[in-house]
Amino acid sequence: MSTKRFDGKTVFITGAAKGQGRAVALGLAEEGANIIAFDLGEKIPYPAYNRSSNDDLEKLKDDIEALGRKAVIYAGDVRNEEDVKEAVERGVKEFGGIDILFSNAGIAAYGYSWELSLEQWETMISINLTGGFLVSKYVIPHLIKSGHGVIIYNSSVAGLRGFARMSHYSASKHGLVGLARAQAIELATYNVRVVTLHPTGVNTPMNDGLAELEGTTAIEIAERSAGNLLKTPWLETEDIVHAVKYIASDEARYMTGNQFVLDAGLLTD
């Protein structure tokens, strides 16, 4: 019997119930991993589009188990330290440790920088950046204990350049790059790698939410904002799965402190 690439590994994924997080959870489960799936499971005031539900988390658990793997699900907020701590502890109790963190939970919204309220700014930063910090804070000790591990922060092309009407989003995604670079230096001695992933737009339910707020369609949002050189308005979630599988695997064992760009040429000068 052939060995799957992530047999015996445990992966902690935030924003796991839909979109990129769900796709990565299922993709790694197919490769033998057990999954700790963390998601808010309810709507928040900002941005005012529909988000994942607890039913989505339950469905993910069923789908992972249908692949012959195990899943621990947790409905919580990445901004809440007790939620994060409890989810990590519950997952470690079930699986014995954590090998990979895919820090994916995030929001996006539009607004000129001078028109954003302080609450809107702080919500974006706290979910996209502080949430990544909090989850890593509680996962890292388990990676150190095991003597290996990989942290992948899902940033964006907006983490490497600015976009009009997305200053708070861009700032949060740039912040993940700084966090990852510093952690890569801190954790190298423990054989723990840290990488940021920078996709162009991805075809997920978030686009539908942004389109609703803008009074347009998801494909128009993608075509307006992408600027991809290759002839595609967006990536598919499968493209993110392939990238995460590579970064998390031994094939990328000397990759750390890097920015893995998957941009269809958008950032090319």
| Residue 111: DSSP 8-state | B
- Rounded CA-CA distance 242/220 in Å is 26
169 assigned to active site: yes
- Rounded CA-CA distance 215/247 in Å is 37
Q: Which of 74, 110, 169, 190 is catalytic?
A: 169
- Rounded CA-CA distance 162/25 in Å is 29
Q: Is the peptide bond before 141 cis (omega within 30 degrees of 0)?
A: no
**Contact of 99 with 11, CB cutoff 8 Å:** yes
**Contact of 137 with 46, CB cutoff 8 Å:** no
**Contact of 150 with 183, CB cutoff 8 Å:** no
Q: Is 250 buried (19+), middle (13-18) or exposed (0-12) by CB count in 10 A?
A: exposed
3-state secondary structure of 199: strand
Closest residue by Cα to residue 32 from 252, 248, 254, 260: 248
**Contact of 41 with 54, CB cutoff 8 Å:** yes
* Residues taking part in catalysis: 169
